[in-house]
Structure formats: structure tokens, C-alpha cells
Structure 1
Amino acid sequence: MSSATSIVYVYGVLTNCSDLVLDFPPGDLAGIVESGPLRILPFGDIGALVCDFILPDGSDLKTILEDSRSAERMILNHHLVLADMVSRYTILPLRFGAVFAEDAGVIAALGGRYSTLQKELDRIDGAIEWGVKSFCNRKMFSECVAETVSEISVLEKEIADQGEGKAFFLRRRIQRLILDEVEKTLEQCLVGAQDQLKSRAIEETLVKLQPPTVHGHKHEMVSNRSYLIARGAEDAFMQSLDDLRVVYAPFGFDYQINGPWPAYSFSDQQLGGGVNDK
């Protein structure tokens, strides 16, 4: 007769957690498995934020995650727990899926990576992640750029005096001039905006651009970056973003901010024991 299996799931690693009070809302954290309360397993001055999951009879986490709906719910749970914690504490997020058979395995893993984890926690201490997505109305931006290219007006006047054959090639030349100038000016605008936001951040990193089916914006995404911002410096960062909106909105730019998040983009740590490690 099969019996239920208990595993220890690890969300992330905290520092200075001896007096930490965990008050995450009670309930079924995972949504698909019975779970116990959040708790901390300490090692030195760091500790792992964990939860006990009781898996259904004869099942294991890898099997559960083969079902896409179950996987989505557990990934959401992983994020919600970390997002709740980061609003109050510095926590180093771990990759989704770090599981151990018992507490001793977690503690041993903390000991084996102690110096690395401590260094990473020091790096993000007192900071949280904010994401900024930049979008551009290409048509509006191209029209603005075209007005600045003096050679275009000269070519347009020349077209009026030419036959259809040469006029065709002159119009193609105008199109190429505009396209080249648009790309050059777009890059300048992006660099200028990034420099302004980066000056308010501890670190910044590039994130993969998203297709319209994901970002849902009516215009093209031209930049997607994450910024590690010190607590207390968020207002200055937001003000810089508002300043960019004022400057660049007339040229077709729009900015969306998301967060605050745990430092997902600035950490790729794992303890081992994950479902993808085998």
C-alpha cells in the first residue's frame, strides 16, 4: 500500500533571520498539494525559507509538474511567497523546484554554498528589483525623425523635376535615409534613457524582449530592462522615469514599470535537489 510522501521545498535564502517572524497568510500555499507553514532552516547567519509539501499517494513533484496547470499554480505560488517576503526582508530567490527529502539535506546544501550565498545576499541587501519596458510608436517616431533630416527636403524638391523613373529611385533613397536615421536616433534615445535610469540604480541588466502576444501593448517593445534599486531610492528612480515620459512621449515612446520583485534578474542561484537537476 502506497503512502503519502513529505518533501521540503525551498523558496529562497535570507540573512540575519534569527528574529524573523513569518506571518505569511495561512492556507494551501501550493494549491495542489497539502502544505505546512513557512519556516526557516538556519545555517550560520543565513537561512533557507522552506515549506513542507505532502505529495499525494504514489506521486512525486516531477510527475505533478508534468501537468501544465499544476506547474503554473506551483510556479505562481513560488512567486507569491517570494513577493510577499521581499516587501519586508532581503531574500535571495532560488530557482523554482528546489526540493529535498528532509531538513538535513537543505542545511547541508546551505553549508556547501555558504560563502557564495552570503556574498550574493550582501550584493542585494537592502535592494529590490524593478522592471522597465519601453515601447515605441514607430510611425510617430519616424515622422518626427524625418523632419530633422535636411537632405530629405532637397530630394523631395528634386523629385518634382524628374521623370517617373528617376523619381522612383529618389523616393527609395528618401526611404533608406529615414530608415537609417530612425535606427540611429532610436538607439540614441534608448541609450540616453538607460543611462538616466541606471544612474539611480545599483545594477541594471538586459531582459529578453517580449512579443506582442505577451506584453499586450499596442506598440513595439524596444527595450526591456531590470534595475536593482536601493530601498529609499525608489522615489528618485520613479521621478527619473516620469522625466523620461515628459521628454520622449512626443516622439512616440511609452514606458511601463513593474515590480517590486525579488532580485530574480540578479540571481541565478540554486541549492541542488531541484526537479531539473537530474
Structure 2
Amino acid sequence: MSAFFYLYGLIPTAEKNEKSFIPFKGIDKEHESYTISMGDITAIGSDVREEEYSEEVIKDKMNNDMEWLQEKAMHHHDVLAALQSQYTVIPMKFCTIYKSKNSMEQQIGASRKKINDSFLKVMGNEEWNLKIYYDGTKLKDHLRNSHLGIAAKKEEISKLPPGRQFFEKRKLDQHLDQEVEREINKRCEDIHNQLTQFSDYSTVKKNLSKEVTGKIYEMSWNSVYLIPLPQVEAFLEDIQEKKQSYEEFGLQMEASGPWPAYHFANLA
């Protein structure tokens, strides 16, 4: 069978000419990676066997072979992270595969302006991710002791007959849960709005469940920032300061990066 082409990412040809590309073993651990230059755009990838990387085989692997999926996805990410340290990279999604180099070249050619605009967008920038988790019990205790309206309601309930107190306390707990959610959202939005001063672009992603994160606390915020290199240190310092000041409210902040610009320069 003929060979398919596995595409990791695209880099400016000018950068490839300045820094020599060092081949590495491709995703199948058999074929060496190589570059294909198409004018001012260069593709980095490797050949893969059709019988091992057809659409049907990949779907089956993704649904039924978690070990294969984790290994290959990590390889894809590690390659992009290494390339990012050398070049301006537009990362491809995991398992971006073309049936022929010609079909890839046609698509790249049709998207040339978009690709070059993306190079300009991410050049000299790093992608960083911020996740915020919350300890609901800690924040609830904080609000119970500091929120004037809740404190006044507690005092009012304490003067009621015991039977009435039970129902009023339940109502207060429900109100407190609502206040906790409102307070979490407000504080996370405040943090995000303050951090955008360091970034050229930012986006807010869907929160992940505890089953996915493996954390004991729920995720309350998940955002990504494209930050100019001179601003990265200040961005991380600001997060460190916020981590300390927001800890008493039960919020835990976790910054990670730099990542390949998955969210700001991806060519579907």
C-alpha cells in the first residue's frame, strides 16, 4: 500500500533555512521525519503506512486502545514542544494525516494567506494556560463569617423557635451555595480580566471534570493566553501573587506552559 503523510506542523521556510532541521523518528517509530518546503511555508512530518494509519484504523484505536492513544498523543505533543523551541510553529491537531503529499500541498497553498497571518500572530509569543480550582467548603466558611447579609441572617435565625430555625437554616444554606457560586465566578472573571493586560489574545475554555483532571477540587476556570515573550515573566509573577492572596478564599491557581500555540494558530 502507498504511504500516507503525517503532518506535525508548519514553520516559516526562512526560519528553517536559518536553523537546520534535525530529523527524528516519526509517530510510527519507523520512518524518519523530514521537511517539505512550499515557498515561504515548510511542513514537518513523516511517512506512515496506510494500513496502520487509515481513518478506520485510527478511529478503532482511539475508541479501544487507550494505551496507544496516550502514547501517540504524547509523542505528537512532545514533537511540537521541541519544534516550538526552535521555530515559529503552527501546530496541527493530533493525527492530521494526508493520503498524499500533493493533497497536503494543495490545501496549504489554498490557505497560504491564513497561514502567514498565523505566523505573524504567534511569532515572538508563548501560549500559557491558567486553571483555577476551588475548595467550596473553605469559600463557604469565608462567606459565612464575612458576608454582612449572611451574618445578619444567622443572628436573626438564632432568635427564632427551634423548629423554625431548622427550616430557615436550610434556606440560608441554599442561599449560601448560590453566593459561593456567584463569588467564584466573579473572582475568576476578575483574575482573567487582570491577566489579559499581559496578553495579545486570550480565550476561555470549558471547565474539566474531576474525572479528567484527577484533582480533589472542582475546576472553576480554564483560560488560555498568547503572551509576548517580554511579558511572560511579569505574567507568571502576577499569577504567583494572586495565588497567595486568593488562597484564603479557597481558590487554587495553576499556570502551565509554554505550549505550542494550539488555540491561536491551528489550521484545521
Give the TM-score category using the shorter length.
0.7 to 0.9
Out of 52, 61, 77, which is 2:54 matched to?
A: 61
User: CA RMSD for the aligned pairs?
Assistant: 2.2
- Greater share of residues in helix: 2
> Structure 1 residues 49 and 265, CA, compared in 2 at 3 Å: closer, same or farther?
same
Q: Does 1:39 align with 2:34?
A: yes
Say which SS state the counterpart of residue 160 (structure 2) adopts: coil
- Among residues 2, 7, 15, which one is paired with 2:4 in the alignment? 7
Q: Is residue 90–residue 127 contact of structure 1 (8 Å, CA) maintained in 2?
A: no
Distance 1:178 1:47 in 2: 56
Alpha-carbon contact 1:142-1:178 (below 8 Å) kept: yes
Cα drift, residue 13 of structure 1: 1.1
DSSP 3-state at the match of 2:17: coil
Is residue 202 of structure 2 the alignment partner of residue 241 of structure 1? no
* 8 A contact 2:90–2:118 mirrored in 1: yes
Per the TM alignment, residue 33 of structure 1 is displaced from its structure 2 partner at its CA by 5.1
Residues matched between the structures, number: 261
In the TM superposition, 1:179-194 aligns within 5 A as 179-194=177-192
CA contact (8 A) 2:208 2:219 kept: yes
Deviations, residues 120-166 of structure 1 (Å, cap 9, x unaligned): 22111111211111011110111111222223333333333322332
* Cα 1:101/1:161, change in 2 over 3 Å: closer
Distance in 2 (CA, whole Å) between partners of 1:87 and 1:41 is 20
Structure 2 unpaired stretches of 5+: none
CA distance in 2, matches of 1:150, 1:108: 65
Q: Could you tell me how far apart the structure 1 residues matched to 2:21 and 2:235 are?
A: 30
2:7 alignment partner, SS class: strand
Q: Deviations over 1:173-196 (max 9, x none)?
A: 322332232222222211111112
Query: Is 1:21–2:27 an aligned residue pair?
Result: no
Aligned AA for 1:255? M
Q: Aligned with 1:131: secondary structure?
A: strand
- Where do 5+ consecutive residues of structure 1 fail to align? 271-278
1:11 touches 1:98 (CA, 8 Å); kept in 2? Answer: yes
Aligned twin of 1:96 = 94
